[in-house]
Amino acid sequence: MNSQKAEKKQTEISIVGSGIAGITTAFHLGKKGYKVNLIDSSVNSEINNLCPKNGTQASLGVLMGNIHKRSKGRAFLLRNQSMKLWQEWLTQINYSHSNLIFEKPLIKLANSEKEYQSMIELSNNKYGIELLDNNSLDFWNSIFETKLKGGLISYEDGRLNPIKLLKLLMQSLDQIKINKIDKNVCRITKNNNLYNKRWNIELENNKFISQDYIIICSALNTQKLLKSIGHEIFLEPILGQVLELELKEGTSNWKKWPAILNYQSINFIHHHPNRMLIGATIEKGTKASLIAKKEMLSLKKTAPKWMKHASISHEWSGIRAKPINEPAPLLKQLEPGLLINTGHYRNGVLLAPACAEWIGRKIEG
């Protein structure tokens, strides 16, 4: 074994939180040969979205990496790199032998002139994005019983079902021997003895672990964990709701729903012959609002017949952590050996690989 490899094997890293930020960070560091613990009370629990245990399990997994206004800056770079890395990582986690599909393409519809103008700009700048032709627009006009201004199709954007993705990533963590600890972290303390590891983690069962690095990926709880060691960051909860609609026979006029769709800032995912997922709302706080749900369901009073007649077969909500006065996500090294990968607000699934890679680069110096 060469000396670099041996050094990595001795570097102990704990990741707090097993949402998409924590899992992908563990995956990336584990592949590099580090000794990694992934700590979360729900790390061994069943993964599903009917009773989501974190923001990731509630999410829809839509990856809008290319349909994005900016063409430079941090947000652009994270999106761009993540879209490349997802392709590579999917191969590494052997997704072609699983039931996970990268569902493509993605279509975004405009019902205002302003929205359409920005689509025209986007279609000029970006590879893989085209304006919808008249036939496609007629199709969507008839689906939504409206007169749309226009739309975009992005052939490389789409969706990864987050539940299937999380399950596959968890299996990959087992293969690369990531140690999963199903406990909550109560406290983090600094170890001032220079000859020992830098950080101590106190678990809910009063056990302590000493580590070289701690990566905090614990969404809203990050604030509390950091405060006790003198670091203040500010996050606020933003809730999102998802509805699964059961469509009534004879009310819809399409045979095949051709894409992952974003219309009026709502994602439409036709995931079963008579079922459509719609979401996600953006609501401050931790309580689901009935008004937000009704607005989504009625498409702000423009719902077509098939939506009006549908019944709700399932619904769930999840909470994301939004940084206050700082752009999301928060990627920082607070002290030697203490890093955060958190504050993932709207695009946590999309941005996860590039954020994990950022953490890896910091650790490798």
CA–CA separation, 95 vs 169, rounded Å? 10
Closest approach, Cβ 357 to ligand FAD, in A, equals 15
335-to-58, 162, 214, 229 alpha-carbon distances in Å: 32, 32, 10, 11
86 or 137: whose CB is closer to ligand FAD? Answer: 86
Closest approach, Cβ 252 to ligand FAD, in A, equals 23
Give the helix/strand (H/E) hosting 112.
Answer: none
Cis previous bond, 52, omega within 30: no
CA neighbours closer than 13 Å in the CB half-sphere of residue 31: 14
193 or 205: whose CB is closer to ligand FAD? Answer: 205
Closest approach, Cβ 288 to ligand FAD, in A, equals 10
137 or 225: whose CB is closer to ligand FAD? Answer: 225
Closest approach, Cβ 135 to ligand FAD, in A, equals 28
Phi and psi (nearest 5°) for 50? -75, -30
Given a contact cutoff of 8 angstroms between Cβ atoms, the answer to whether 228 and 28 are in contact is: no
User: Would you call 7 helix, strand, or coil by DSSP?
Assistant: helix
Give the helix/strand (H/E) hosting 243.
Answer: strand 235-246
Q: Encoding tokens for residue 94?
A: 């052997």
Closest approach, Cβ 53 to ligand FAD, in A, equals 6
93 or 352: whose CB is closer to ligand FAD? Answer: 352
55 or 323: whose CB is closer to ligand FAD? Answer: 55
User: Would you call 192 helix, strand, or coil by DSSP?
Assistant: coil
Given a contact cutoff of 8 angstroms between Cβ atoms, the answer to whether 333 and 364 are in contact is: no
Instruction: State the virtual CA torsion across 291, 59, 314, 239 in degrees, nearest 10.
Output: -30
Closest approach, Cβ 269 to ligand FAD, in A, equals 9
137 or 344: whose CB is closer to ligand FAD? Answer: 344
Task: Report the sign of the C-alpha dihedral through residues 169, 173, 175, 176, in that order.
Answer: positive
45 or 298: whose CB is closer to ligand FAD? Answer: 45
Closest approach, Cβ 248 to ligand FAD, in A, equals 25
198 or 320: whose CB is closer to ligand FAD? Answer: 320
User: Would you call 340 helix, strand, or coil by DSSP?
Assistant: strand
Task: Report the sign of the C-alpha dihedral through residues 206, 51, 56, 180, in that order.
Answer: positive
Residues of this chain that interact with ligand FAD (CB under 6 A) are 16-22, 39-40, 42, 53-56, 58-62, 184-185, 217-219, 221, 225, 240, 242, 267, 279-280, 318, 320, 342, 344-350
Closest approach, Cβ 344 to ligand FAD, in A, equals 4
CA–CA separation, 323 vs 211, rounded Å? 27
